[in-house]
Structure 1
Amino acid sequence: MEGELNRDMSTILLIEIDPFTRDKIRTALGDTDHRLIEAGDGEVGLTYFRSHNPDLVLTEVSLPGRGGLEVIAEILAARPQTKVFAFSLPSRNACVDLLDTAKRLGATRTFSKPIDAQELGEAIQDELRSDEPPTRHQ
């Protein structure tokens, strides 16, 4: 039912190398009944995506190795209905805006670091309450 959290526990996959940011996201989730799975890089994140079938993926765009943009593209190619939040430090190069690229790839929402825990927590709750498919930014 729209407007209520699913009775079943939602699974959230967090792909982030920085322990401080992972801790901040745990804080944003607070005492909610979500199952949080954490990966420190894109390759492990994709493995966890395939094995845990998360309801929502939160990923850093600037990951070492298999980057966040590649991860977003692979996740949405495999399961287009997946809700994906992307985050990154603001770009120092105006020609390369990674969050705009993440939106074009299909990220549901984007956030600049440092992440506001309350804003992120509310966005997560809103997405997980919604029965609507994610809105893609083209």
Structure 2
Amino acid sequence: MIDTLLVIEDDPETRELIVEELSEAGFTVKTAGDGAAGLQAMLDFQPDLVICDISMPIRSGFDLLEDLGSGYPQLDSIPFIFLTAFADRDTELHGRRLGADDFVTKPIDFDLLVEIVRARLSRGPARIRRLDVQLTGREAEALTWAARGKSSADAAILMNVTERTVNFHVENAMRKLGVGSRIQAALLAARAGLIRP
């Protein structure tokens, strides 16, 4: 499956260069010209990774990342890379506190950008969506209660099933998600938007 990237950049020439380089590297690339359009694009097609300029009109990259952290759990697991002309420590610290995964400084070293993108796509919860993991209703319900801190016994009462049935559904979900504990399963499922704790 070809990974789909979203490039959010207000400068048309820079945007065109990034699209050209990433397309040549084998990615499908979509674009937006500002943070507001970028958020809408993320909601519309949930890209596998976002590359976003910091300084933009309407909504800056920082504004966009702040928006994501305050109300869009279905987008939480998408890796987010900032492009910046400001290679100073305070800018990077602020971005990382908001949840940025990486920074690439302008002028862009495209070989470096492609390697960073590949590295980010090869790990992390965003992979769950690309693997098309699907939980049954009962698996999602059992994991939701686990994410809320309920024991299997408590979840059994809430779900009106036996404790053994709860454990069965949680173990199936863990197997599908490729993790070894119910906490990991609940965390990854929540980040991928499969459950809403």
TM over 0.5: yes
More strand by share: 1
Give the superposition deviation at 1:117: 0.5
Q: Deviations over 1:79-112 (max 9, x none)?
A: 2211000111126xx6x83332111101000111
Which structure exhibits the higher relative contact order, with contacts defined as CA atoms closer than 8 Å and separated by 6 or more residues? Answer: 1
Give the superposition deviation at 1:30: 4.4
On the 8 A contact 1:29/1:121 being kept in 2, the answer is: yes
Equivalence for 1:85: 81
Separation of aligned partners in 1, 2:38 and 2:102: 18
**Correspondence 1:129 to 2:122:** yes
1:22 alignment partner AA: R
Separation of aligned partners in 1, 2:17 and 2:116: 14
**Correspondence 1:38 to 2:34:** no
Equivalence for 2:100: 107
Farther off after superposition, 99-108 or 21-30: 21-30
Give the superposition deviation at 1:21: 1.9
| Counterpart secondary structure, 2:24 | coil
RMSD: 2.0
1:80 alignment partner AA: D
Q: Rg: which structure is higher?
A: 2
On the 8 A contact 2:35/2:58 being kept in 1, the answer is: yes
Structure 1 residue aligned with 2:110, among 117, 120, 123? 117
Equivalence for 2:13: 20
Separation of aligned partners in 1, 2:32 and 2:11: 10
- TM-score norm. by structure 1 comes to 0.78
| Counterpart secondary structure, 1:97 | helix
Unaligned runs of 5+ in 1: 1-7
Separation of aligned partners in 2, 1:119 and 1:101: 22
- TM-score norm. by structure 2 comes to 0.57
Give the superposition deviation at 1:76: 4.1
Farther off after superposition, 54-63 or 20-29: 20-29
More helix by share: 2
On the 8 A contact 1:42/1:63 being kept in 2, the answer is: yes
Structure 1 residue aligned with 2:61, among 53, 65, 68? 68
| Counterpart secondary structure, 1:115 | coil
Give the superposition deviation at 1:18: 1.1
Q: Deviations over 1:54-96 (max 9, x none)?
A: 11011001111111101112234412211000111126xx6x8
| Counterpart secondary structure, 1:36 | strand
- The alpha-carbon distance between structure 1 residues 103 and 58, as it changes in their structure 2 partners (threshold 3 A), is same
Identity of aligned residues (%): 30
Aligned length: 123
Give the superposition deviation at 1:125: 1.2
